[in-house]
Chains A and B, each alone.
Chain A
Amino acid sequence: MAKDEIKTPFKLVGTRVPRPDGLDKVTGRARYGADFSAPGMLFGAVVRSPHAHARIRKIDASKALALAGVKAVVTRADFPTGLEGEKWNLQDNAMAGDVAFYDGHAVAAVAATSALLAKDAAKLIEVDYEILPHVTDVDEAMKPDAPVIRAGAADYSVPEGMPPNVVRYLDFGHGDLEAGFAAADLVRERTYKTEATHQGYIEPHACVGQLGADGKGEMWVTTQGQWYVRWMCAAVLGLDAAQLRVTPSEIGGGFGGKTTVFMEPLSLALSRKAGGKPVKIVMDRSEVLRATGPTASASMDVKLGMTKDGTITAARAEFRMQGGAYTGLSPVGEALQCAFAPYKLPAVSHIGYEVLANRPKAAAYRAPGSPMGAFAAESLIDEMCRELGLDPIEVRLKNAVTEGDKSSYGPTFKSIGLKEVLAATQAHPNYAVPLGPNQGRGVATGFWFNYNGDTSVSMAIAEDGTAQVAVGTPDIGGSRASLGLMVAETLGIPYEHVRVNVVETGALGVNEPSHGSRATFASGKAAVLATQEAIGEMCRRAAAEWGIDPEAVEWVDGAAQPSGPNAGKFPPMPIAEIAGNMSATGGPICGHWQGLPEGVGASFGTHVVDVEVDPETGKTTVLRYLVVQDAGRAIHPSYVEGQYQGGAAQGIGWALNEEYVYGTDGRLQNPIFLDYRIPVASDLPMIDTVIVEVPNPGHPFGVRGVGETGIAPPLPAIANAIAAATGARLRHLPMTPPKVLAAIRAGADG
């Protein structure tokens, strides 16, 4: 059911109000990362390794330091030693130690009085490298004789005798796999590959960092999570976290890529060395592509058993992923967990290998791992549906999980909306549009867990009865609007009477970033609970005024009113009146909530795509696109649709165009937007959406989280559509025209 057809009991939730930061953002006033300046500010530039793998023999900065206006140079020698685990990963990635592990790895940084001067000075820093053998491909990196990236980096999970670059091993599942495959009428096993892609946010990383000799510092930065920046910078530099105050700017997209640090600690190190002057560092696009956190590349085997009527009897996945030269960063676990999540499986087995390679340290990218897992699993399901002559939605409906089913990855599902999503997809007119020659239709389903995370929200009633809310989750795509709607709905006041502020680290307890589709769920739930606390206080103030028991006061439509036996005894006391008297009745009226919000609700989506493939060139054109996804509840439907459309567009880019291309020298060959080509307006059609609402009982308004799921289905859906259009099955992304053409020419099974 589309959102707009649903009658809800809400006045504001579900309406399409203008976002509160809209005016700033259409007039150029909104301040993003690079738009901030501080008095006396210096500018930083970073020297980066041109080699995929090299020992750093010597760094000579004397020529740079001799330039007038150059104020500081830092190398790894300026950072504390002895870090371990992820703290060491972050430090070593921010600034290489003895070894540069990838093309673009930072080896030194310089601060000067102008950006141009800093760049000139960076060129004068001489680095003596001893080039080491490198490996960038995941399958190559797993060979026993591959160059060893970091000896001894494997964790306890890796069994004896594995190749040296395997650093993490996963093995989980349930049921009798052999019996499952034996019960199938059709068993197929295939291998799939996906290349690394970048989140591609249009705003490059930027920050201004300031750090004094007293260990007190400040930072203004574009980030999805200011507390993450704080703990990470503090860890890398050996600072006390509470002494660092981090203020998030407006953020020009993140998609997971701005949940960690890259050059941020360097600006602080430079500032400290330059006598505490603030230092601004803004990455250029090639630095973003070479040296931030793209997603992993993957090599995946999937085996499925299916009966003639489409019942899946057993599933096995073995995934190999590289996430750069550091451990714990490839989303191989999530990929495995998501791959078969839509299906009720009597027997399933997952094996995963995390492998080191000479590539940048992977970061989260929208539903990390889920797109790769979906590509492999959903492609094979489609292939088997075709072989058995079955409708792909019918087969998915037949196997779909529902409340109470054990998931493929272990836990039992609570209320979920997969069947509702599939039914809405089947009923949509796009599924029945007749297709022409060289055209094909593809269907695929995707999944994301959704997430809660540490959350702290405060709200306060202003003197005139309006409300302010302090949240720690940066607004990437309209979350101020959805939070404002929920608070206004709860208070019973106009949406315009609420101001939602994204605040700095000094203003709240620790918050996790806006990631995992958690902002509207977690900050939203916390904001509602904080608001209820303030409402309780307002009821107490009214009760005292009336001389009745506070329990006998209820909050209705923005006012306290006597209830029960006292009902009607006093006229309702509106919020403005209570607020106006607050200082005489007990002081400020605030609400606060902190904790880990329980009740996360998982989300499923199904996409239908129609493509046309040019048989002469192999070029794929997306003709029609449909996203159907369970939102739980759409607080602001326009921004929910926007998440569906944006996720689909990123997935379409991943499927057809985008990839990290490495040369034999281990250098990234396409570090600009001209060559790392993301979809442009003329590549895409309108993207149709259906918001399904199966409310999440764990959230006061039913929210599940909507950001992640939509990026997973496009990869397999487009592969399935190309197979339908051409008979050629592509199992290696991206499906570029040359690859599609080669697959068509090679015959039905490319």
Chain B
Amino acid sequence: MSKIHVSATVNGDPVEFLADPRETLLDCLRDHLDLTGSKEGCGTGDCGACSVLLDGRLVCSCLVLGVEAEGKRVETIEGMAEPGGELHPLQRKFIEHAALQCGFCTPGILVASKALLARNPDPTEEEVRYWLAGNLCRCTGYDKIVRAVMDAAADLRGAA
């Protein structure tokens, strides 16, 4: 099948790649753009390890075709820290609270949490749990993840 040329903005940078029409956005990020921070846990939209923002909307990049990114803005885990390296408060709090064990779910959960805090800066525990219900973590039992997200939210509110 012939490939399609795609232009998009990824983490603020203009990018171009050639996508097979069957390739997902996740495949394109990982295999064509070397952005392997987004993970594939299922490929069926059930685990959230591939979470990215597409024009500001939280999506499972395994359920988006690469060609659909044409002209769009994509934000991945690799773009979460400041360009100089300063971590986003969520990233800091995840380390501080030991909210990762194997860390494989972490990129997706951080991206999803950032989207949550963008629309709800003061979520309750229940709101965090329901928002993250699409992100599977098999290691932590979610306790420390939920605490880290709530603590980062408090931090961000304090800074605002």
Q: Assess A116 versus B23: contact at CB under 8 Å? Given A27-B81, A285-B43, A672-B44.
A: yes
Residue A649 at the chain B interface, CB threshold 8 Å = yes
Query: In the complex, which residue of chain A has the Cβ closest to the Cβ of B44?
Result: A672
Contact of A253 among B31, B77, B96, B139 (CB under 8 A): B139
Q: Is the CB of B107 within 8 A of A476?
A: no
A-chain residues with CB within 8 Å of residue B132 when the two chains form the complex: 680-682
Query: In the complex, which residue of chain B has the Cβ closest to the Cβ of A33?
Result: B104
Q: Is the CB of A645 within 8 A of B42?
A: no
Q: What string of 1s and 0s marks CB contacts (under 8 Å) between B122-133 and chain A?
A: 000110111011
B-chain residues with CB within 8 Å of residue A21 when the two chains form the complex: 103
A699 to B66, alpha carbons, bound, how many Å? 53
Contact of A250 among B91, B103, B129, B143 (CB under 8 A): B103
Q: Is the CB of A204 within 8 A of B136?
A: no
Q: Is the CB of A650 within 8 A of B138?
A: yes
Task: Report A637 CB to chain B, min CB distance, Å.
Answer: 9
Residue A284 at the chain B interface, CB threshold 8 Å = yes
A25 to B134, alpha carbons, bound, how many Å? 20
Q: Is the CB of B95 within 8 A of A673?
A: no
Stretch of A87-95, A125-133, A195-203, A489-497 lying at the B interface = A195-203
A-chain residues with CB within 8 Å of residue B37 when the two chains form the complex: 27-29
A-chain residues with CB within 8 Å of residue B81 when the two chains form the complex: 27
Query: In the complex, which residue of chain B has the Cβ closest to the Cβ of A650?
Result: B138
Q: Assess A682 versus B87: contact at CB under 8 Å? Given A201-B102, A646-B140.
A: no
Task: Report A627 CB to chain B, min CB distance, Å.
Answer: 9
Q: Assess A16 versus B98: contact at CB under 8 Å? Given A202-B39, A252-B104, A681-B146.
A: yes
Contact of B49 among A202, A250, A476, A672 (CB under 8 A): A202
Q: Is the CB of A253 within 8 A of B95?
A: no
Residue A375 at the chain B interface, CB threshold 8 Å = no
Residue A35 at the chain B interface, CB threshold 8 Å = yes
B-chain residues with CB within 8 Å of residue A649 when the two chains form the complex: 138, 140-142
A115 to B94, alpha carbons, bound, how many Å? 34
B-chain residues with CB within 8 Å of residue A648 when the two chains form the complex: 141
B-chain residues with CB within 8 Å of residue A201 when the two chains form the complex: 102, 104, 138
Contact of A682 among B40, B42, B76, B130 (CB under 8 A): B130
B-chain residues with CB within 8 Å of residue A680 when the two chains form the complex: 132-136, 142
A30 to B78, alpha carbons, bound, how many Å? 11
Residue A619 at the chain B interface, CB threshold 8 Å = no
Q: What string of 1s and 0s marks CB contacts (under 8 Å) between A26-62 and chain B?
A: 1111111011000000000000000000000000000
Q: Is the CB of B135 within 8 A of A681?
A: yes
B-chain residues with CB within 8 Å of residue A646 when the two chains form the complex: 101, 138-141
B-chain residues with CB within 8 Å of residue A574 when the two chains form the complex: none
Q: Is the CB of A642 within 8 A of B36?
A: no
Contact of A638 among B22, B23, B77, B97 (CB under 8 A): B97
B-chain residues with CB within 8 Å of residue A253 when the two chains form the complex: 101-102, 104, 138-139
Within 8 A of B (CB), among A664-712: 672-674, 678-684, 686-687
Q: What string of 1s and 0s marks CB contacts (under 8 Å) between A1-38 and chain B?
A: 00000000000000010110111011111111011000
A-chain residues with CB within 8 Å of residue B87 when the two chains form the complex: 23, 26-27
Residue B38 at the chain A interface, CB threshold 8 Å = yes
Residue A381 at the chain B interface, CB threshold 8 Å = no
Q: Assess A31 versus B36: contact at CB under 8 Å? Given A16-B98, A202-B138, A645-B140.
A: yes
Q: How large is the interface on B (under 10, 10 to 19, 20 to 34, 35 or more residues)?
A: 35 or more
Q: What string of 1s and 0s marks CB contacts (under 8 Å) between B69-84 and chain A?
A: 0000000111011000
Q: Assess A251 versus B102: contact at CB under 8 Å? Given A27-B78, A28-B38, A681-B146.
A: yes
Q: Assess A681 versus B106: contact at CB under 8 Å? Given A477-B101, A638-B97.
A: no
A583 to B83, alpha carbons, bound, how many Å? 41
A458 to B22, alpha carbons, bound, how many Å? 48
A23 to B78, alpha carbons, bound, how many Å? 12
Which among B46, B95, B139 has the highest number of chain A CB atoms within 10 Å? B139
Residue B121 at the chain A interface, CB threshold 8 Å = no
Q: Is the CB of B143 within 8 A of A22?
A: no
Q: Is the CB of B144 within 8 A of A642?
A: yes
Q: Assess A681 versus B129: contact at CB under 8 Å? Given A35-B36, A201-B102, A284-B43.
A: yes
Contact of B145 among A25, A250, A476, A681 (CB under 8 A): A681
Which among B23, B94, B130, B138 has the highest number of chain A CB atoms within 10 Å? B138
A-chain residues with CB within 8 Å of residue B27 when the two chains form the complex: 115
For the complex of A and B, list the 6 residue pairs with the smallest distance between their C-beta atoms, beginning with the closest.
A28-B37, A252-B104, A25-B103, A649-B141, A645-B141, A638-B98
Between-chain CB contacts (< 8 Å), 9 pairs: A21-B103, A26-B103, A26-B107, A252-B41, A285-B42, A638-B144, A645-B140, A680-B142, A686-B146
5 more A-B contacts (CB under 8 A) besides A285-B43, A681-B132?
A27-B78, A31-B36, A202-B104, A253-B104, A681-B133
